[in-house]
Structure 1
């Protein structure tokens, strides 16, 4: 049994969602979407520039080795996500969601600055890729805390009847960041020569991304905090948030990570690996591939709020279940058609269909995560589950897809990998409770798993 000194009491941790007016909720949506969209712009442009960065920072390897090392360094950023989720999630539960989200803004901008101004391998040798890896680690640490804090804030400003809609803006903002990143990189690729792109053009998106710090700070300064702890409780010693999550909610954590496998693998293969796949394996131009990536971002941004509203009506688990079954059925025929007819039109159709399935499963999934935990450790629980799941199965999905394709010699290998991960992820749903329409603070009031 925990003492009042080890954990805030129900009276000291107030529920902001019940007091949030519609105007406040709209302000929260706008501020969180813009800030989180900027975060994901910074984090994802690296993936869109994989082929260019590989040539500049890993020139001593073959073209396959360059690509493999570049997507591996993309995945390295995800190694730090669990640590970032744990540290920043605990900070969000202790100091508030706003402060945590401000911290992630500056860390992401720092990572962007390092990438933007690092000399290439030709100038400083092996130090160049090492600095790039360091920058990706910083960005991964930041992203690990951002998703947990921002999603928790959105959920806590919602009512039981619209939590799916509110949380959907987390994924919508990711789509916005991906779309903007693809448009910027695609525009540079189309307008610049190969020499100019490799000389300085690839740095432009990271310089733009550095603007995240002042813009994000201004936007998030006007957010309404959803966690309010009495001054005397803030000074009192507290039991570790991570310890509470792991010891009292361990079963939920494991089930949620397993459930996350399907969505996060699909997201990183469809959104980040497919542009590289389209260029390298299908022979399409970089501009076409990046337009396809922009399309996936646009679909995520436009469709996520509608799916969020739908999940508030039909429930989270049914929507996740049937969308994953549909996605598992469609993945292989989509890849088969794309390889048989590698045209821009087919690429856009396949990406569009897969993106709809991705949104339909991810939005209710990302809503379920913070719903599972009590308010005092909600950001920590959400951050831990999401960052570990994404680190293990999302960030290295492009790497695994690239390796499988080379090892098997089959251009359909990524499809089989996606199908397998999608089906495995259904097992976790068995142990998760659907909190749709319920008061999560009453359901989870300091209850052990």
Structure 2
């Protein structure tokens, strides 16, 4: 039975489809919150987990190094979970990944600091961050495959965009919690105890998501492969590397676009606003919250656009919009314009191009090795782009305040070119 026969038939979305999307999105939002909330408290963590006599810039650099370390274990966790997801089922790995994220998040909230146990504090933090990386490596590709194989094929783009939007809502949740913590508590109280609250909340609600995922069902595509005995006859990863290297490269580059949009525009820019332009933390976080809402809308529209216009054309439109809007945003900041919220919101909307990325990646691989192929390319790219971008961002900002614009602009231009190529291939 070939892969074309495993496409879902044309039909309308059912209540069961909606339930699957809702539960998947809820779990994805909570898991992404657990992985990302670290960055919102990087300055606090730097003070608590490293020696007080260490220079501030060194503490900050090492804290971002620990954040980046979570990206380095993504390929290993993703490849292992994808292997069993292609052979044993999507649902099992989908549930396991969120448990492996929630438990370390809870433990981070309980960790003793440098003042209590010395050098063991950053080492334990690093170990838990590595576990988080392994978990997110299986969660994101698994979630995209899971929802894409559940819904009718004419809604695949919308489903992928909706799920990606839930990941951005996880970032929004982290930003809102950070805003609340900084609004309610003084810096002294945050350093003493309140910094633990976001991690404890993430761990508890993550465990709730583990329970809720019990109600999900295996994907129809995987069940068909089981029934017709068309599961991979060799190690899925071996087949990916032997027969689908071009798809791996394509998805690797698409993930670079995903990482640039999320890491630079959403996660790193609020800190840049405070450091370079003396924007008060509360104002920077409020602008970031609005940007994430616009990003969420862009994700859904980009996903729906893939169903109506095609993935290539949608990628081209959003990448050109991102190229122009982000350059205007950063250049206006550098020119001294302080009324930046609208420019930031428009840029974040076009960063919603990340909503079409999973649609293109899911379609790049046949069902029997889809999880492994998508996971390999996505997580390798996250290890490279996600691991190096925060360090690059920290160093390059000292060279030029326009460094983010050149970085995101280059990635956007490459994405637009990719959109043209995919259009010619009728994708």
1:24-103 equivalences in 2 (<5 Å): 24-58=16-50, 59-103=52-96
- In structure 2, relative to structure 1, the CA distance for the partners of 1:257 and 1:427 (3 Å cut) is farther
Q: Contact between 2:297 and 2:349, CA under 8 Å: does it hold in 1? A: no
CA-CA distance at 1:17 after TM superposition: 6.4
* Range moving further from structure 2, 156-165 or 40-49: 156-165
For 1:415, the equivalent position in structure 2 comes to 405
Count of paired positions = 422
DSSP 3-state at the match of 1:161: helix
For 2:253, the equivalent position in structure 1 comes to 258
Structure 1 portions without partners, runs of 5+? 1-8, 438-449
C-alpha separation in 2, matches of 1:352 and 1:305: 16
DSSP 3-state at the match of 1:162: helix
* Range moving further from structure 2, 324-333 or 123-132: 324-333
**Partner of residue 142 from structure 1, selected from 135, 141, 145:** 135
- In structure 2, relative to structure 1, the CA distance for the partners of 1:72 and 1:422 (3 Å cut) is farther
- In structure 2, relative to structure 1, the CA distance for the partners of 1:223 and 1:339 (3 Å cut) is same
Structure 2 portions without partners, runs of 5+? none
DSSP 3-state at the match of 1:61: coil
* Range moving further from structure 2, 104-113 or 333-342: 333-342
CA-CA distance at 1:61 after TM superposition: 2.8
CA-based RMSD of the aligned residues comes to 2.5
CA-CA distance at 1:399 after TM superposition: 1.9
Q: Contact between 1:105 and 1:212, CA under 8 Å: does it hold in 2? A: no
Q: Contact between 2:306 and 2:359, CA under 8 Å: does it hold in 1? A: no
- In structure 2, relative to structure 1, the CA distance for the partners of 1:16 and 1:435 (3 Å cut) is farther
1:435-446 equivalences in 2 (<5 Å): none
For 1:446, the equivalent position in structure 2 comes to none
C-alpha separation in 2, matches of 1:201 and 1:163: 41
Kindly indicate which of the two structures has a greater share of residues assigned to helix.
Answer: 2
- In structure 2, relative to structure 1, the CA distance for the partners of 1:61 and 1:340 (3 Å cut) is farther
Q: Contact between 1:17 and 1:156, CA under 8 Å: does it hold in 2? A: no
C-alpha separation in 2, matches of 1:279 and 1:419: 22
1:286-365 equivalences in 2 (<5 Å): 286-341=281-336, 343=338, 345-346=339-340, 348-359=341-352, 361-365=353-357
1:8-407 equivalences in 2 (<5 Å): 22-58=14-50, 59-226=52-219, 227-228=222-223, 229-230=225-226, 238-341=233-336, 343=338, 345-346=339-340, 348-359=341-352, 361-406=353-398
Q: Contact between 1:93 and 1:376, CA under 8 Å: does it hold in 2? A: yes
C-alpha separation in 1, matches of 2:232 and 2:387: 36
Q: Contact between 1:105 and 1:142, CA under 8 Å: does it hold in 2? A: yes
CA-CA distance at 1:436 after TM superposition: 7.7
DSSP 3-state at the match of 2:109: helix
Q: Contact between 2:104 and 2:131, CA under 8 Å: does it hold in 1? A: yes
CA-CA distance at 1:175 after TM superposition: 1.4
- In structure 2, relative to structure 1, the CA distance for the partners of 1:230 and 1:421 (3 Å cut) is closer
DSSP 3-state at the match of 1:224: coil
DSSP 3-state at the match of 1:411: coil
- In structure 2, relative to structure 1, the CA distance for the partners of 1:238 and 1:434 (3 Å cut) is farther
CA-CA distance at 1:285 after TM superposition: 2.0
CA-CA distance at 1:50 after TM superposition: 1.1
For 1:440, the equivalent position in structure 2 comes to none
C-alpha separation in 1, matches of 2:75 and 2:15: 34
The CA deviation string for residues 222-260 of structure 1, in whole angstroms up to 9 with x for no partner, is 1121121548959x9941111111111001111221233
CA-CA distance at 1:342 after TM superposition: 5.8
* Range moving further from structure 2, 58-67 or 380-389: 58-67
- In structure 2, relative to structure 1, the CA distance for the partners of 1:182 and 1:166 (3 Å cut) is same
Q: Contact between 1:147 and 1:170, CA under 8 Å: does it hold in 2? A: no
- In structure 2, relative to structure 1, the CA distance for the partners of 1:21 and 1:335 (3 Å cut) is closer
The CA deviation string for residues 378-417 of structure 1, in whole angstroms up to 9 with x for no partner, is 11111112112222113432221111112x2x22222222
TM-score w.r.t. the length of structure 1 is 0.87
